[in-house]
């Protein structure tokens, strides 16, 4: 006599159907939760992107203000050099200030850019007169140079204040 064993499994068919339905339900719930996590992660990524943009904007603003303040200190230093008639050093620092203003002109927009161009011309004019004084080919009034640089200082200080007061996202790119 041959005995055949039929594998019925450990559970009867009703239990297997119930577990299959429960497995599908758990899979669907897991899928919905995964989709929810993806949506939340997308929102977090967008928030992080906004925060990164705001940080970049704040850094740009800080760099602009720092550059303006540095140029202002440079102009003040040159005023002292002119009044003490240290022509050789004044010429070097005037060239530095002119270069700073060229760079500043590249990062500011509109009327500020035009005014920056005028201040560059003023500095070039003072620089030329100081070079003539230093080389003995002309006479330069240090007070005249001091006053011209005072105008440049006023412009730079005012522009630094404007930059500090700009709201986030405003004026990030030169126009």
The CATH number of residue 124's host domain is 1.20.120
Q: Which domain holds residue 69?
A: 60-165
Residue 78 lies in a domain: yes
pLDDT in tens, 19-61: 888 889 999 999 999 888 898 888 888 888 998 888 888 888 8
Residue 13 lies in a domain: no
Count of CB atoms within 10 A of residue 42's CB? 10
Residue 128 lies in a domain: yes
Residue 46 lies in a domain: no
Q: How many domains does the chain have?
A: 1
pLDDT in tens, 104-150: 999 887 889 999 999 999 999 999 999 999 888 989 899 999 999 99
Mean pLDDT, rounded, for 144-163: 94
Count of CB atoms within 10 A of residue 70's CB? 16
- Greater model confidence, 5 or 151: 151
Residues contacting 111, CB < 8 A, separation 6+: none
Supply the pLDDT for residue 174. 46
Residue 55 lies in a domain: no
- Cα→Cα distances 150→111, 112, 115, Å: 20, 17, 15
Distance CA 72, CA 77 (A): 9
HEC-encoded secondary structure of 42-103: HHHHHHHHHHHHHHHHHHHHHHHHHHHHHHHHHHHHHHHHHHCCCHHHHHHHHHHHHHHHHH
Residue 41 lies in a domain: no
Residue 83 lies in a domain: yes
Phi first, then psi, for residue 66 (nearest 5°) are -60, -40
Residue 102 lies in a domain: yes
How much is the pTM? 0.68
Q: Which tokens is 149 given?
A: 């640089």
């Amino acid at each position: 006599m041959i005995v055949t064993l039929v594998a019925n499994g450990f559970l009867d068919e009703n239990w297997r159907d119930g577990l299959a339905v429960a497995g599908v339900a758990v899979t669907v719930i897991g899928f919905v939760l995964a989709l929810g996590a993806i949506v939340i992660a997308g929102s977090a990524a967008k928030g992080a992107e906004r925060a990164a943009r705001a940080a970049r904007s704040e850094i740009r603003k800080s760099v602009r203000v720092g550059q303006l303040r540095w140029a202002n200190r440079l102009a003040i230093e040159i005023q002292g050099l002119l009044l003490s008639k240290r022509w050789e050093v004044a010429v070097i620092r005037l060239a530095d200030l002119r270069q700073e203003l060229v760079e500043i002109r590249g990062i500011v927009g509109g009327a500020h850019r035009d005014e920056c161009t005028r201040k560059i011309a003023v500095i070039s004019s003072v620089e030329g007169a100081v070079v003539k004084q230093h080389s003995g080919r002309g006479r330069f009034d240090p007070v005249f140079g001091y006053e011209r640089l005072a105008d440049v200082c006023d412009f730079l200080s005012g522009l630094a204040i404007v930059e500090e007061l700009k709201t986030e996202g405003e004026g990030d790119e030169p126009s």
